[in-house]
Structure 1
């Protein structure tokens, strides 16, 4: 019988917090450090680049793209939606391919591909061209986030993922911040250099950063235990990783995806609960990507294009703290459900102010500074998925991608309906919609937490009962064998002997 693994994190006092578990051997700790040095920095770096290339549309829009491409309506939200559609469609093949493809080849290829289409945006002269490029960037970026979480879940225990994922996820906030700084610098120093607008130079600079990072991934990303990258990992490392995961009931056998996997997921209530949770998360955080903060700054009419992009970096900079704080307390103190709750209570406070809107300007500044708390728990959520679905790698890989795909697909139309560019910067419908989803997210997380604890107790009781029955049967067989021996060893037999 496989060991039963408790999915909820044990609460610890702050002075008991350790990076390694007491059960980790010295060899395992060396392996963990090696994995930390290989996976986490690259994941962070690539995600940073991804979000530079994703967020730079909003920065370009307020830095002259709108005027140069003659946008007058809802083109910004339409381009954001086309990116989302590309990201959703691009994930679908990987629901089936994660257990087949070496991740240390797949992820770098995708990085390089979206880098080329990022570069192509500098030459866009119409909405149609920009729309095609944004769709393709979304398509090639699509699998990166679930793929990295699949890698995390392939090497780390459930109680180790969130803080690594948190460091990785700061790439989102830092990428958004960096995009603003790049655009600010391009607008101030490169405007009309060689006849190109500053926003066009921004896309060139972003591509020159993106492509080398993709190439780097071929060498340092460790892949997964079933398809390891042997540049830095030895066979012994892979075996140690499998053994430590097996101790906590995490699947170390990696079967290929089959249709039976889909049937198994469909009959698993945990998958459906996680799907609902993820849908509320995606729709409870679209405020961070809608561009409301930048559009509000521009609407004030007192800042230059360069200054708008500089000020636009403040909110994502604060978001770095949110991400690290939420992810670390999830792993080490409160567990995923309460980490999600804490993050979105703070998000809700800001959203209430934005819904009211007619408040002092300082209150709006405060509200926009809470925005990135909405996504601070993303790594917590997907770490939770890795843990809950960890008994089967095929189910885990399919679940991670399918959850992300379905949940993200809902934002393709919800953002279009609730954040039309013409209603900027107030977005009353949008902020009200996000507020409702944030409340539902908290409620769902708490219900799921209770249900998982109850399920774990029932599974543990069932395992104990089965072990008791097995032990009883073994003892009975042993007694029966002893009786047979005693029957054969009689005084007559002894005399005849």
Structure 2
């Protein structure tokens, strides 16, 4: 049961002094906020779970120890907020991979794209993305803007997606990709920021996994769309199949963007509340986050910047993500290998070049959902290390290159496990920085900005398209970078554990019993079969 110290934290968040914690006849903790009774989060109660069936937590989205009010709220969030965030991220990657599919399906020849111009498409996109990423995160962290900011940006990029069907030169592609980079800034970090603002730390990892694999679904579906466009629309009204792909993408994007204006809830403190939440549910959402120590929005200024740059969180998070982001480039380059094989041996058709790589995204979807759910059952550092080891193995094999055909396919497919890393890193950062909302949003934005800044020139310098697909230098650098980001993340785990131990020591020293506001990264209690408590080490 949550502690009654929650009332003090609610007052600190801006509520007036008419807050009274009581318990009803069923034993539920109730907080009266301005005369309205709010059922406080029951999620802090530790469930009894056998070690032998702990893996079943993967499928336990609404634990039995939750109150009926909290289950109803979480179901609503899953049906609306999580779905919207997934669709937002889905259409972002649908558009991203549309360019990739179009390039290998006739755009290169029709627009006479030469040399490394293809790599520069991503560079211009990344420049726009990194310039506006931190300002975008600062905007979305404001309760008064959060509700309409994302759908507005979605609408504008949907319009721009339509215009890509009329491209006629490389310079037009550069300009379009730059603007798309600006407009798509809230799709990734904005979505994860909203999710971590509504879901508790023990709920968000598996939902972040579902959210992230929507990008893989977008990449996979883009291959199917391009195949269908090439077969059914190529030449219709005098337009190539790759041009029709952008029109179809635009139709999908604009419908989702319009729905967002009516459904996005903003932040828990956003007023007026969205229509599908009651006032009691909104207040419960605030109480849920307060019960784990998550702070609400405050002023942005010099003090916030000082907090960011004088703590380890910023440097560990940014460095880890920069190294990871660079290594993820090869995950989407299976088409280059298939195209090379087709040119040399006539092995694969255009349809097969677009369809075969969808297996990478299919594996990424399954792995992203299952593996991120394991984070709340088994030690986080072990889950992260296993994923990293598999990615390291794949890059080593591709560095060797002359390997059996079956292993070649296996390595490309295993690169789909990059889908597990981002939905672990960002919720982890939100967890370790839960007591500083503004620093959290700034650091999240900085991760994407600096990560994409390096990613904007990484493909050109390390994976130039002229050397595709046998990037000997590129895979060597990738191997080094994978080892680097794993090492930095493990250092972050150590620092977080030490930080949480210090908090517990201070609380015990002061004689406080209100311990809901910190998380124990090193241990979780589970109930084993004989009824005795056992401690399972967590990293």
Q: What is the TM-score normalised by the length of structure 1?
A: 0.88
Note if 1:188 corresponds to 2:241.
no
Name the SS for the 1:227 alignment partner: coil
Change over 3 Å in CA distance of 1:22–1:392 after alignment to 2: farther
Equivalent positions of 1:86-485 (< 5 A) are 86-100=128-142, 101-227=144-270, 229-251=273-295, 253-289=296-332, 292-301=333-342, 302-331=347-376, 333-467=377-511
Shift of residue 133, structure 1, vs aligned partner: 0.9
In 2, are the aligned partners of 1:287 and 1:434 still within 8 Å (CA)?
no
In 2, are the aligned partners of 1:336 and 1:381 still within 8 Å (CA)?
no
Q: Look up the match of 2:71.
A: 29
Which is further off, 350-359 or 96-105? 96-105
Deviations 1:193-216 (A, max 9, x none): 111011011111111111111111
* Partners of 2:75 and 2:137 in 1: CA distance: 30
Match of 2:85 among 26, 33, 43: 43
* Partners of 1:87 and 1:80 in 2: CA distance: 10
* Partners of 1:43 and 1:143 in 2: CA distance: 10
Shift of residue 441, structure 1, vs aligned partner: 1.9
Name the SS for the 1:110 alignment partner: helix
* Partners of 2:51 and 2:492 in 1: CA distance: 24
Which is further off, 207-216 or 412-421? 412-421
Match of 1:70 among 88, 105, 112: 112
* Partners of 1:406 and 1:12 in 2: CA distance: 43
Name the SS for the 1:370 alignment partner: helix
In 1, are the aligned partners of 2:139 and 2:145 still within 8 Å (CA)?
no
Change over 3 Å in CA distance of 1:14–1:329 after alignment to 2: farther
In 2, are the aligned partners of 1:11 and 1:334 still within 8 Å (CA)?
no
Name the SS for the 2:275 alignment partner: coil
Q: Counting helix residues as a fraction of each chain, which structure ranks higher?
A: 1
Structure 2 residue runs without a partner (length 5+): 10-42, 515-539
Name the SS for the 1:285 alignment partner: helix
Change over 3 Å in CA distance of 1:102–1:336 after alignment to 2: farther
Change over 3 Å in CA distance of 1:58–1:124 after alignment to 2: same
Shift of residue 38, structure 1, vs aligned partner: 1.2
* Partners of 1:79 and 1:256 in 2: CA distance: 37
In 1, are the aligned partners of 2:318 and 2:447 still within 8 Å (CA)?
yes
Q: Look up the match of 1:13.
A: 51
Name the SS for the 1:172 alignment partner: helix
Shift of residue 443, structure 1, vs aligned partner: 1.9
In 2, are the aligned partners of 1:81 and 1:412 still within 8 Å (CA)?
yes
Change over 3 Å in CA distance of 1:23–1:461 after alignment to 2: farther
Structure 1 residue runs without a partner (length 5+): 471-497
Shift of residue 21, structure 1, vs aligned partner: 5.1
* Partners of 2:50 and 2:311 in 1: CA distance: 31
* Partners of 2:512 and 2:221 in 1: CA distance: 59
Shift of residue 447, structure 1, vs aligned partner: 2.3
Change over 3 Å in CA distance of 1:146–1:12 after alignment to 2: farther
Change over 3 Å in CA distance of 1:377–1:257 after alignment to 2: same
Name the SS for the 1:300 alignment partner: helix
Change over 3 Å in CA distance of 1:13–1:85 after alignment to 2: farther
In 1, are the aligned partners of 2:394 and 2:412 still within 8 Å (CA)?
yes
Shift of residue 96, structure 1, vs aligned partner: 2.6
In 2, are the aligned partners of 1:339 and 1:380 still within 8 Å (CA)?
no
Name the SS for the 1:223 alignment partner: coil
What do you get for the CA RMSD once the two structures are aligned? 2.3
Shift of residue 188, structure 1, vs aligned partner: 1.4
Change over 3 Å in CA distance of 1:323–1:158 after alignment to 2: same
Shift of residue 408, structure 1, vs aligned partner: 2.0
Q: Look up the match of 2:121.
A: 79
Shift of residue 72, structure 1, vs aligned partner: 2.1
Count of paired positions: 463
* Partners of 1:204 and 1:409 in 2: CA distance: 29
* Partners of 2:92 and 2:513 in 1: CA distance: 53
* Partners of 2:512 and 2:165 in 1: CA distance: 68
